[in-house]
Amino acid sequence: MRLIHVLKSNQEQATAAWIDHLKNLRIEDMIQQLARQDKNFENALQQLNELKIFIGDPEHILGSYLTKHGEIAEHVQVRFCNADKLLVGKAANHTFEGVGRAAMEDYLRNGKMIQSKFYNGEKGTFNAIVTHLKSYPYFIKKGGSYDIPRDQYESLIDIYNRGQTARSSLSRSEENLFKHMIVWEKEQDVKICDVVHPTQVDYKDVQLKVVDKTVKDKETKIEQKNEGIKDRIKDQHKPSMQEGLQATALAAGLEGGITFCIKVYEKRKAGRKLSEFTTNDWKEVGIDTAKGTTKGAIRGSSVFAMTNFLNSPAPVANSLVTATFGVVSLARKLENNQITKEEFTMNSEVVCLEVGTSALSAMLGQTLIPIPVLGAIVGNTVGMLMLEISRNYLDSDEQQLIQEYVTKMSDLDNKYVEEYSRLLKEIQNKEHKFNSLVELAFDKDVNKAFYSSVALALSEGVDEGMILKDLNDIDSYFN
């Protein structure tokens, strides 16, 4: 019967190990997704950094002080759109690659030509579109389209829609613009909403004196959106009711099935064939199976709760449940005067010793055999068999030796837990320091960004001799 007891103990620890394995899979997936999102965030910020570099050198931007906003608008749209895509793990879809600075298109979106028009007022912008298409009559036919300021696009579409339904609501200038759009649509055989699209910013946002604030505001939105994405990732990987129900069902099914097999085995071992089972026999088997299923459900939900919400090791959580079942059963026998107080105390100690040995053995097994479930089963089997051998064959000195060994293993396990916590905290501190250096390296203040980049390079192990740390190093490098 001791082998049946070991089998039962193995089933209990296997259930706990599997529940813990599901938890670890969920946590590992969360860590991987958070790491990918950190990379996505870094890529998005890089797009904004490229934009900062461009607008930081106005002398190289086409046009006068009053017209430089035209090329600025192109770069703002490209970098903002790419940052949004990269932040959510998608590929950037805007590019200047392969586009000449004086070409008929300003940039490409999904491989299609885009011409950006930023003039003061809806009429001026629309006239610029008409003029451009006269110069390049095949632009739209080749898949090209136009990007205009968001506020002007909304105004143009509003005039267009009101002109279609109630032209009396249009002012004289709006009426003329509406007629102009209708004529242009017929001449080009297009719909304005199909070939004209809004940018992410308004006309005023790309003016040279305010574009720095526009970029800073976008950076803030990117940071907030990134935090929202990471929060959603964490929420998605929290313990769920569905996972708890699955753990409960798994434990109930396993424990009920094992109980059924054990009960049938006991009757078969007593010499009774299955064909000889009476109604009372099957009733007894059914009652015990139902009890086992109920206990399994309690075990599954309890272990799930303790491992996921209290961070208890699965073997320990399972053993606490088993010990509770055992002590409660003994308490009922004591209440019914089936055992004495001394027997209650002694048997409770035996129960706690067994579950303690089971927990420690399963934990050591998982450490030595890092395979889900298998390590817990092997460790538990060895531990329980050693406990049985010690009961029957070893004298007090040898039992004390084993107990000292168990104590040492427990102390060693606690030491590893403390070391793990220390290393984890050290990694988190270094990660925080790295993220802070990265943020400072992209700071708007050029001097602060320069010295922060030096600090970042040193923190990542770059040879100090290869880093240009000041103006003297820079002059020496280029002379």
Q: Is the CB of residue 70 less than 8 Å from the CB of residue 118?
A: yes
Torsion angles phi and psi, residue 109, rounded to 5: -125, 115
Q: Is the CB of residue 48 less than 8 Å from the CB of residue 217?
A: no
Per-residue pLDDT of the chain (479 residues; tens, 9 = 90+): 455 555 555 556 666 666 776 777 788 888 899 999 999 999 999 999 999 999 998 888 888 888 899 999 999 999 999 999 999 999 999 999 999 877 899 999 999 999 999 999 999 999 999 999 999 999 999 999 999 999 999 999 999 999 988 777 888 999 999 999 999 999 999 999 999 999 999 999 999 999 999 999 999 999 999 999 999 988 887 776 677 677 666 666 666 566 666 666 666 666 666 666 666 666 766 766 666 666 666 666 666 666 666 666 656 666 666 656 555 666 676 777 777 766 667 666 655 656 655 555 555 555 554 555 445 444 545 455 555 555 555 445 555 655 665 566 667 666 766 776 777 777 776 666 656 555 555 556 655 656 666 666 666 666 666 666 666 666 565 65
**Per-residue tokens: 298:** 């309690």
Q: Which residue ranges make up each domain of the chain?
A: 36-232, 240-311, 426-478
341-360 residues labelled b (16+ CB within 10 A) or e (exposed): eeebeebbeebeebbbbbbb
**Per-residue tokens: 210:** 């305010």
Q: Is the CB of residue 295 less than 8 Å from the CB of residue 325?
A: yes
Q: Please give the Cα distance from 44 to 80 (Å, whole number).
A: 9
| Neighbouring C-beta atoms of residue 86, cutoff 10 Å | 22
* Alpha carbons within 13 A on the beta-carbon side of 427: 6
Torsion of CA 441, 442, 444, 448, to 10 degrees: 0
Give the residue among 67, 209, 74 at the shortest CA–CA distance from 148: 74
Positive or negative: CA dihedral 389, 16, 360, 305: negative
Give the residue among 115, 275, 266, 264 at the shortest CA–CA distance from 199: 115
Torsion angles phi and psi, residue 112, rounded to 5: -100, 145
